[in-house]
Amino acid sequence: MKNWISFPKVEGTATRQAHVRLPAGTYEREVGREGFFGPATQFHHSHPPTGWTRFDGPLRPRAFDLTKSEERLDCPLSAPSLMGNAATQVRLWRFQGKMEHLVRNADGDDLLFFHQGGGELFCDYGHLTVVEGDYVVLPRNTAWRLDSPDGATVLMVEATNDAYRLPAKGIVGTHAIFDPAMLDVPLLDEAFQDQKSERETHIRVRKRGQICAMTYPFNPLDAVGWHGDLAPVRLNWRDIRPLMSHRYHLPPSAHSTWVANRFIVCTFVPRPIESDPEALKLPYYHSNEDFDEVLFYHKGQFFSRDNIHPGMVTYHPSGFPHGPHPKAYETAQKYDRKETDEVAVMIDTRDPLDVYEPMERTEWSGYADSWKAK
């Protein structure tokens, strides 16, 4: 439990309420700790905090276009890591067909986000039909496979040596954002019964990054029943009902969906834009001093970014201010758009991320220049 040094003050020309009634001709920048959960200060600048003319070195903001990578693999364990650290590994898996083996991840829980396509997912606990926009949380070491005759593209986020939990929802109550009753679990249904067999079956297991294999003379997905409170769960982004305020722009932490010990996964879904004329109407400039920020763009037009399309990823390491692009900021100030249409998955990590070679091959090198005034 941290006892932060806390002494709220107002100095110079500033607002008393964050993100509201900005002094004329100023740009607000929030400096915060613990990823919007800790103490913060809002500065008011006479120039945009992202108004650099050059940005050199490894700290630079980066963007990647994963649509340029079309490799299909028959095994999710073979999907290369795109970025990661000791607490998480982020992968993208493209697959079409029927997996002829089972897989287990003994290194941590896996979060699957079905960016494109879906299929039939079979696991120790039963059967789930999955579609575009589904999250599936697979507890560590769950055996599973996917049948996807039409193909699927899956963002995979590993909670390395960890588990996923639901975020605390505080004063808004447990049913806010999404009711836990919306979480579906696998069923021991007819489809699950039909896949049982005495056929020799292989299970590939990843442990400490290495893949091992076990062979059984039967299909190990042969449960006749189970009871307990540990199981895979499924949630579609369309079942998320975001917290909103027409008078105040809420921080990304208000959109938390899944939480691990060293990172958090948020989901941005369509919502009305703030209508109060005094309120900011898009993400404010901010310096998130303790977390790296990754955004995977799934659907729609991300209203604070230009030249970004579905299937792209942006990466903002901690240590520099970032925020809306100039054109997006101008559009928001005019209140030309009344609602957002984007869907995006955000991964905020407490520890710095490494970008690996498969990701670097898809980089858009001009991203750091996209904040320059036109």
What amino acid positions are annotated as catalytic residues? Answer: 249
The tokens describing 157, both together, are: 């986020």
For residue 356, give every residue at least 6 positions away whose Cβ sits within 8 Å of its Cβ, in sequence order, or none: 80, 81, 82, 83, 84
The annotation status of 286 as a binding-site residue, yes or no, is yes
Distance CA(156)–CA(343), nearest Å, equals 17
Q: Is 180 left (phi over 0), alpha (psi -120 to 50) or beta?
A: alpha
Between the alpha carbon of residue 132 and those of residues 13, 117, 136, 146, 210, the distances in Å are 48, 5, 11, 14, 30
**Residue given tokens 């036109």 in the structure block:** 374
CB 91 within 8 A of CB 158: yes
Between the alpha carbon of residue 185 and those of residues 159, 188, 198, the distances in Å are 20, 10, 25
**Residue given tokens 């005759």 in the structure block:** 149
Between the alpha carbon of residue 278 and those of residues 89, 252, 323, the distances in Å are 41, 20, 19
Three-class SS state of 368: helix
**66 secondary structure, DSSP code:** G
DSSP string, 191-230: HHHHH--SS-EEEEEEETTEEEEEEESS-S---S---SS-
For residue 368, give every residue at least 6 positions away whose Cβ sits within 8 Å of its Cβ, in sequence order, or none: 52, 55, 60, 61, 62
Query: 123 pairs with which residues across the strands?
Result: 126, 144
The annotation status of 322 as a binding-site residue, yes or no, is yes
Q: Which residues are annotated as a binding site for Fe cation?
A: 286, 292, 322
Q: Which residues are annotated as a binding site for homogentisate?
A: 322
Q: Which residues are annotated as a binding site?
A: 286, 292, 322
